[in-house]
Structure 1
Amino acid sequence: MTAPTPADFHRLHHGPAPLLLPNAWDHASAAALAAEGFAAIGTTSLGVAAAAGLPDGAAATRDLTLRLALALGSGPFALSVDAEGGFSDDPAEVGEFARELYAAGAAGINLEDGLGDTALHAAKIAAVKAAAPGLFVNARTDTYWLGDGEGTRDRLDAYRQAGADGVFVPGPADPDTIASLVEFLDDDVPLNILYSSAGPTVDRLGELGVRRVSLGSLLYRRALGAAVQAAVGIRAGRSPQGRTPTYGEVSAYAPTARQRARRQS
């Protein structure tokens, strides 16, 4: 099975149901998700950073993120890369990084503003679209994640005018708030919402007009929690619950010699 093209990834944002995007942090987690039939998989900056003992959101994982994109870009799924704020405040450098991701096989990039300067983030988006026009730019604003939602519409308007293909507003879980954002965007760009167990289901988000639902760092945090819970349970004399992949199943996720050669070329 060949990987979906960037054009396929764009179309996934306009299907009959929202695109549910699970987020991987290494080759095995991505391969396991792909085996379950997910047509698109994102990366999680927290998972990539934490696994390497580095801080998230501090522009410390540029090389690790690119390396992961090189490892996953030829997989049988569309790859969207979480690139924090682009790992630079120089739009030209962000554009060059996006070009490298696109060359590695990525179909999308997620860029967060961290409540920084709106004009600067818009310039990064424009630079990415100039450097890699086919790359789906998901422009994230942290107005609800780090604030009270003030200024959301101004930021979203600036980002779509800069060329964003989609916008991401993590934080809101209230259906009325989400619906108002969909109405504001008026189908110009698809709205991405971060899944929350306290918020609407994926089906309900679709009914509200949301076109993409990201799991963010949830799977990484759940995996970490499950590992610790299993170890503590075994120490207490309890057997781990739930399905555990076999050694052979996990080993089978390793890329073939042909795939390894392709990534090195």
Structure 2
Amino acid sequence: MSERSVPVPSRAPGSAPAAAAAPAPGVPRLAARGLVHRFGVTTALAGVDVELGDGESLAVMGPSGSGKSTLLHVLAGILVPTSGVVTLRGREVQGLGEKERSLLRRSRYGFVFQLGQLLSELSARENVALPAMLTGTSRAEAEAAADRWLAALGLAGTEGRRPGELSGGQAQRVAVARALVNRPEVVFADEPTGSLDQATGHDVMKVLVDSTRAVGASLVVVTHDADVAAWCDRRIDVRDGLVVAPGSTTRAGVGPRPGERAGAPGGDLLGPGGAR
């Protein structure tokens, strides 16, 4: 894919829900205080505090079993913490019922997973359109929005292909398009380059960071790779369920190439007529 900035499409009327109003000044978009989570006798999170500002990208690093994926699942409302508080724009979310948390994940959050988790029986277009349809958008509008996103992410011509007919990098860009079709407030990415080679991982991270920034979404990336973390504005390290002092972050491999700056906005991300 070209190194040119991603020309994120504008939102067609009725194609996706609008983001909620901005929080009061000084209120982080997403925050957690004193998060503890246990699986039986195993403590996965042992008291974690974290904040994420508007449009900010945050890398959560740590080895396998450190608690980083549990942290993502709690922040995203997939898991309810054993104790502690999670807020979105100042509103507590951990006390919401499953139906409310499901609606939150559909309409205000987006997700990118290591293996994409695309539905194998659906085409690329249908995979991207599905989240919009689940929030009430008509099939025609949702599929039109999906086509615009696929074109913006360099996938024009693949709309009718199923995941098994796509390369690994193409499938992950479909997953990014699916995560962004509803213009979410926060995107959660769990090891988004874990199954890709370095060059393909670079392209996917560039697309992910540029496109989330362009739509004004905040981004949480869970990774064990410092080169992936280098794309984000900020990094925290998790070990044994606690936030610890970070090690050094390199900028080689999958990270930004010479001349690129991690997390830097592009000059034409929104494209013609793309203002929100």
TM-score, L = length of structure 1: 0.37
Q: Which has the higher contact order (CA 8 A, sep 6+)?
A: 2
Please state which structure has a larger fraction of its residues in helix. 1
TM-score calculated relative to the size of structure 2: 0.36
More strand by share: 2
